[in-house]
Amino acid sequence: MKEERLLKPRQDTSATSLTGFQLYPRGPRKSDARHPPGTLFPFRMFTSLPFPARRATLLVGITACLALPAKSQHDVQRNAVQKIALGQHEQVATILAGDKKPNAGKAETLFVETLNLAAQGKIEEAISRRKLALAAGLPLERFVAGPRKVLSKLPPVEGSIDVELVHGPMVGAVTSEAASFWVRTREPATVTIRIGEKEFSNRTTAEADYTTVIRADGLKPMTTYAYKVLVNGKEIPAGQTNLRTFPSRNKPQPFSVGFGGGAGYIPEWERQWDNISTFQPLAFLMLGDNVYIDQPEHSLCQHYCYYRRQSRPEWRRFTARTAIYSIWDDHDF
């Protein structure tokens, strides 16, 4: 008889709604302080109830959840950038000074203040804020990525010339024999993915926001490959640059897949990408509300929301080794 299994939530999932799961065998298990012998887990307790009792329990649970105050994913920094996009610069300081939660922190506030000052042509003040943001720990890539239509008004930040690979690599569209790699560069460039003796290249362009996708084929099923990233022939240091191909069609093999949605951006919670990565999922499914833009008519806010996630080192480590698939939901525009 096959061993029956249940989904067990990870212990460290309070930081974000992107929750990892692991399997554990149903039945006898070692006792500990939290689960003495004979203790029933909540899920097992729930499924053991008669149907009317289960229905009543669900109704009580749903009612309790609806009664709780909702915690918005719409952080104050994103709200402030929406005002910048609308030209309502005088409202930015008030929004950033508020104590509304969630809040993406001091470094992110300084970045938004830099953006607001640059948009108004207050260049010297913007440069001063930019220095403070970098000193507070903001990744240099944030000022290289943009939004360029505003930050290009400032002189290049010191050290930006060395940032050739701004975002990525991000792995996706993996099959048993191929994989794709998404990247963004500082300027138009030829990007090469080297796997063993094979090289696969494509070119980033300004029209595509300095991004491109490189397709690598001729790979073997369910195999781990180390790869290297080169920009204009120069090897670029990047962490976790390995990938696993998928099983062959009609030849099933065990593998794990992660999934989640509602990934609001709070820097201290971004560690969750490293947490999920410890499970080594073959793929991760982004189920919508991935960045919380809520401003479909202004690309400034759209770029801001994507760039800050794509610049996070935790996200870059995770997506460099895990095949990413996603759908859009209402907050992704």
Q: How do the domains of the chain map onto residue ranges? A: 76-160, 162-332
- pLDDT, tens digit (0-9, with 9 covering 90-100), for 160-186: 878 899 999 999 999 999 999 999 999
For residue 200, the tally of other CB atoms under 10 A from its CB is 19
**What CATH number belongs to 162-332?**
2.60.40.380
Q: What is residue 76's predicted lDDT score, i.e. its pLDDT?
A: 87
Q: What is residue 73's predicted lDDT score, i.e. its pLDDT?
A: 54
Least confident of 137-141, 183-187, 271-275, 294-298: 294-298
* Pick from 106, 236, 243: nearest CA to 175: 243
Residue 72 has pLDDT above 60, yes or no: no
Token representation of residue 306: 């994507």
The b-or-e profile of 46-60 (16+ CB within 10 A means b, else e) is eeeeeeeeeeeeeee
- Can you tell me whether residue 111 is helix, strand or coil? helix
For residue 113, the tally of other CB atoms under 10 A from its CB is 22
- pLDDT, tens digit (0-9, with 9 covering 90-100), for 239-277: 678 999 999 988 888 989 999 888 888 888 899 999 999
Token representation of residue 216: 């690598």
Instruction: Please list, in sequence order, all residues whose beta carbon lies within 8 angstroms of the beta carbon of residue 59, skipping any fewer than 6 positions away.
Output: none
- Which pTM value belongs to this model? 0.76
Residue 309 has pLDDT above 80, yes or no: yes
Least confident of 41-55, 246-260, 285-299: 41-55
Query: Which one-letter DSSP state was computed for residue 298?
Result: -
